[in-house]
Amino acid sequence: MHQSSAPLPIREILQQKVVDHLKFIYPQLEVEPIANELARLMRLDEDCQSPLAHKNLWDQTDIAVITYGNSILNDNQPPLKTLHHFLQSHFPMLINTVHILPFFPYTSDDGFAVSAYKQVDPSLGDWSDILRISTDFHLMADLVINHCSAQHDWFINYQQGADPGSDFFVEMDPEEDLSKVVRPRITPLLRATTTPTGTKHVWCTFGHDQIDLNFANPKVLAKIVDIIRLYLDMGVRIFRLDAVAFIWKKLGTNCLNLAETHEIVRLLRTLIEHANPNAVIITETNIPNRENLSYFGNANEAHCIYNFSLPPLLVNTLVTGNCRYLKNWLMGMPPAQNGTTYFNFIASHDGIGLRPVEGLLDDSEQQALIQTMENFGGQISWRALDDGSNKPYEINISLIDALKGTTAGEDEWQLQRFVCAHAIMLALEGIPAFYLHSLVGTTNDYERMKEHGHNRAINRRQWQEQELNEKLADPDSHHHTVFQQLRRLIQLRREQPAFHPNATQFTLHLGDQIFAFWRQSQDRRQSIFCLNNISDQTQTVSLNAINLIGTDQWKDLVSNAIFDDMLATLTLNPYQTLWISNRW
């Protein structure tokens, strides 16, 4: 009788997976030694765990906040301690995940030109502060993977012909045809740099202080893996792969989303999840929607992808009073399979990206949106096209100012419109993430923008903790109103199984002024009909139109209204949200 062989040990299975990844990335190299080195750096030869496929590492209680380490200041303590205290004080049992934007030493781009990956910026605190935060929250940190600062030791060594670094960067002949390369900036792609062997031209996707790393060199990959291991040791559970779509370069292509890029993401996931099966990878790919979706792979790349199309589509919906484009997009979004989900946000430290709505909003719609945002004090950042022209890349504005009116101008519905936007985000399939400044209703900071000399600073205010606490406690302050209403919605969301990130979602068709969708819990016991009046006019809808099951009792979780008559007509005030549930 044939005897089946014993299953391979986890370590051998992992070794083979890593080798297979590396063979695809580096087909000309002997990859076994590279695989051994990566396993050693991740200490997988000491402790190798077995991740479960298609396991959801989240539920409806997962709510994230996005913040800089120094968004809230107190003169008497390091900013990271102040941030930790603020979150503990104001969001107990509400926020369980915190994304601290790059907290490392840097030279520009508010942290994304990292000059030392293994240090905490001393102006913020130290690793002990990071560890303390990670004990109370799921900690999300940036892996700034595409580039490093021009002041990083690696690039300084490159300029001197020394190691490590002499072969860490992408050199390119300026006479090569690079017209197909997709750029998010208008600065020249190449930077002339003096080296011991003469002038070289190095690749700079995001600007000349951010030098692209050369992942075609496996020594660069090893350095990144070494950094990942440190971050795991320091309590990081969620890795945000910054600008990952750009990391592989190949002449004659657009150098975006290349096959090698996807394979590197798969490799990093394999290494990370065998070190910590509860760790999560999120890809930050501010690109058209279809390309963004590709980073799910077959549930073997990113656990989560940023839902980059949501912010511009939702803002467009609320300032036009028409949800047609948002509804069409939602119908076309595939449900995320178990083990993956969307990372939903509607405001961030950057701006409202316009690339993610390419193919979703036509040029005239985009131009109307841009003009409206400029009318509300927003600024426009640009990118270079291959014909030498420039095109709007993102709108820089605080979300509360972006929603201060409609295309017709400012009106009295700003706060209702702003809360409605967040109610929609909270109810959609995926994990919701609040930008800290949205939670507290921060408006455009023109002074900071002028001081820093770049548009994105308009939405990166630094609050003094005492001043912010006073505003949040003042019932007459819009900060108080926003804060309290959003806290209540967060609490409601956390209590609903139908708002699990992977619960069923279907788009409802109730006209262009009511954006509506249905969520059903994974055990099918709870249904929630989410109705949002996205216009500045009162709207009506018949309960019969949303097909409520008559044998159930239904209640709006937001207003606590109970619906007994299935033939009744509902009236929704401007920007009102209803979460009609059969279970509460």
Q: Residue 466, Cβ neighbours under 10 Å: how many?
A: 11
What is the overall mean pLDDT for the chain?
Answer: 95
pLDDT at 470: 98
At 286 the pLDDT is: 81
Residue 110 known to be catalytic: no
| 456 assigned to a ligand binding site | yes
Question: What CATH number corresponds to the domain at position 95?
Answer: 3.20.20.80
Report yes or no on 190 lying in a domain.
Answer: no
Q: Of 121, 242, 401, 556, which is the active-site residue?
A: 242
Is 350 annotated for ligand binding?
yes
Mean pLDDT of 378-399: 86
Task: Evaluate if residue 184 carries a pLDDT over 80.
Answer: yes
pLDDT tens-digit readout, 116-154: 999 999 999 999 999 999 999 999 999 999 999 999 999
- What is the mean pLDDT of the segment spanning 250-260? 96
End of a domain among 253, 287, 306? 306
Structural domains in the chain (count): 2
Core vs surface per residue 531-549: b (16+ CB within 10 A) or e: bbbbbbeebebebebbebe
Q: Has 417 been labeled as part of a binding site?
A: no
Q: Which residues contact 431 (CB under 8 A, 6 or more apart)?
A: 58, 62, 63, 64, 97, 304, 341, 342, 343, 344, 501
- Which of the four pLDDT bands, split at 50, 70 and 90, describes residue 480? very high
More confident residue, 511 or 286: 511
Q: Known binder of ligand: residue 401?
A: no
pLDDT surpasses 60 at 329: yes
Counting residues of the chain whose pLDDT is more than 70, the rounded percentage is 99
Mean pLDDT along residues 404-419: 98
Q: Which domain holds residue 35?
A: 1-145+218-306
pTM above 0.85, yes or no: yes
Q: Residue 88 falls within a domain, yes or no?
A: yes
More confident residue, 99 or 183: 99
Whole-number pLDDT of residue 7: 56
Last residue of a domain, one of 306, 331, 363: 306
40-84 per-position pLDDT tens digit: 999 998 889 989 989 999 999 999 999 999 999 999 899 999 999
pLDDT at 1: 44
Q: Could you tell me if residue 509 is inside a domain?
A: yes
* CATH number for position 576: 2.60.40.1180
**Helix residue spans in 55-194 (DSSP H):** 79-90, 127-136, 153-160
C-alpha span between 72 and 147 (Å, rounded): 28
512 is in an annotated binding site: no
pLDDT band, very low/low/confident/very high, at 8 (cuts 50, 70, 90): low
Asked if residue 379 belongs to a domain, the reply is no
Domain-terminating residue out of 275, 306, 337: 306
pLDDT of residue 4 exceeding 60: no
pLDDT band at 29 (very low <50, low <70, confident <90, very high): very high
Residue 183 in domain: no
pLDDT value at residue 532: 98
Under 8 Å between Cβ of 203 and 101: no
* pLDDT of 283 above 50: yes
- Domain membership of residue 125 (yes or no) is yes
The mean pLDDT of 109-122, rounded to a whole number, is: 97
pLDDT at 273: 97
pLDDT for the residue numbered 163: 97
> 241 labelled as ligand-binding?
yes
**For residue 287, what pLDDT is reported?**
82
